[in-house]
Amino acid sequence: MPTFDTVLETDMVKMKNAVENTGKEIGTRFDFKGTSAAIELKDKEITLIGDGDFQIDQIHEILRNKLAKAGVDVRFLDIGKVEKIGGDRVKQVTKVRDGIDTEQAKKIQQLIKGSKMKVQASIQDGKVRVTGAKRDDLQAAMALIRSDIKDLPLSFDNFRD
């Protein structure tokens, strides 16, 4: 039976390069001279450090521009709250989304069930596998998912006939 997987995967190499380029730009920009502005990527968390909320926003803007140039969707970023870390300094932890969480996977599964298409959806380790009898049904399911789930940068892989 034909199947495909609905996945949420980011290219971590491009993400790492964008973070490194953001760090280089922070080091060379005049408005960041003499400040504690910094950015680092550890595992799947990007930590922004700055002297205030305005500086954190500026670093985020630089990061978004670098991600756009690298071709990485900014919807992969799950932006956290700004926290004080002492004195004037603040930090913000931004998580990089990887894998569809259970709540979103159930939403996709319910969407497919509610569409009355002749396909089935099952949740498997951060993926949603869609199975159907005909290739055309699977392509219609892909179109349905793309049109309804706009807040996640979903992709489809493992298409098998």
112: Cβ contacts below 8 Å, ≥ 6 apart:
119, 120, 121, 130, 141, 144, 145
What pLDDT is attached to residue 30? 92
What pLDDT is attached to residue 98? 87
Fold of domain 3-8+99-160: Alpha-Beta Plaits (3.30.70)
Report which residue type is found at 71.
Answer: G
Each of the 161 residues of the chain gets a pLDDT tens digit; together they read: 889 989 998 899 999 999 999 999 999 999 998 899 999 999 899 999 999 889 999 999 999 999 999 999 999 999 999 999 888 899 999 999 988 888 999 999 999 999 888 999 999 888 999 999 888 888 999 999 999 988 889 889 888 87
What pLDDT is attached to residue 129? 92
What pLDDT is attached to residue 17? 95
- Rounded to 10°, the helix 53-70/12-28 angle is 130
8 A C-beta contact, residue 107 and residue 149: yes
Q: CATH for 12-96?
A: 3.30.70.990
What pLDDT is attached to residue 125? 85
| DSSP per position, 12-78 | HHHHHHHHHHHHHHHHH-GGGTTS--EEEEETTEEEEEESSHHHHHHHHHHHHHHHHHHT--GGGEE
What pLDDT is attached to residue 70? 93
Shared fold status for 3-8+99-160 and 12-96: yes
The residues spanned by each domain of the chain are 3-8+99-160, 12-96
What pLDDT is attached to residue 67? 95
